[in-house]
Amino acid sequence: MGQKWKRREFLSKSVKGTIGLFAVSTLPLGLTACNEDESIDVSSMVNLGSLKELEKGEFPKKVPYKAKIQDAWVEQEMEGFVYVNKNKEGDTLLIMSPICTHLGCTAGDAEIEMQKEGIRFYCPCHGGQYDEFGINVGGPPPRPLDTFDAYAQNGDVYISVLSAKQRKKPSN
């Protein structure tokens, strides 16, 4: 079997695995460990820990990460956190970047009084407001918090941390 063919087979398996899992920004709950044949290349992804652990506790929650990421030929250390929530139906995980979509400050937890008004994340730089699903509900942010594609492998959840995805504010 030639080297070229092997590579093509690998890419084909990777793509198949990705699509077969979930090529969207949300992660279905209750997934089991993935089949080895459907393994994906996680060298440029961040491991958020086990899906079982992510499913536990209060939502939304802050999940820290620390990882060595392979970006093309460069390996870089990355440290940060994401916000994880269940979607409105409660059947998928929504993994959100904390980076404010106005000018890139970090959005933190809103004060309790604000939370009572439906504001869950607050950006102190210019008063950006987001609800628990990261939807911009006040201040200058032009769109919701970005999300990350998520993949499960061997029971752990990985995100494409270098490729945050933009969302549009849903129309009500």
Q: Which residues lie near ligand FES (CB under 6 A)? A: 100, 102-105, 123, 125-128, 139-141
78 vs 80: CA distance, rounded Å: 7
The reply to whether omega before 98 is within 30° of 0 (cis) is no
**Shortest separation between residue 144's beta carbon and ligand FES, angstroms:** 13
Identity of the residue numbered 121: F
Cβ nearer to ligand FES, comparing 122 with 148? 122
- Closer residue to ligand FES in complex, CB, 91/117: 117
Minimum Å gap between C-beta 149 and ligand FES is: 24
Task: Residue 57: count other Cβ atoms within 10 Å of its Cβ.
Answer: 8
Question: Shortest Cβ distance from residue 83 to ligand FES (Å)?
Answer: 15
User: Smallest gap, in angstroms, from Cβ of residue 99 to ligand FES?
Assistant: 9
Q: How far is the CB of 124 from ligand FES (least distance, A)?
A: 8
Residues 6+ positions from 169 with CB-CB distance below 8 Å: 135, 136, 143, 144
Looking at beta carbons only, is 49 or 139 nearer to ligand FES? Answer: 139
Measured CA to CA, the distance from residue 161 to residue 148 in angstroms comes to 7
CA–CA distance, 55 with 61 (Å, rounded to integer):
10
Comparison of 34 and 100: residue with beta carbon closer to ligand FES: 100
3-state secondary structure of 66: strand
Q: Within a 10 A sphere around the Cβ of 55, how many other Cβ atoms?
A: 16
Q: Residue 118 or 139: which CB sits closer to ligand FES?
A: 139
Residue type, 67: A
Of 129, 169, 126, nearest in space to 146 by CA:
169
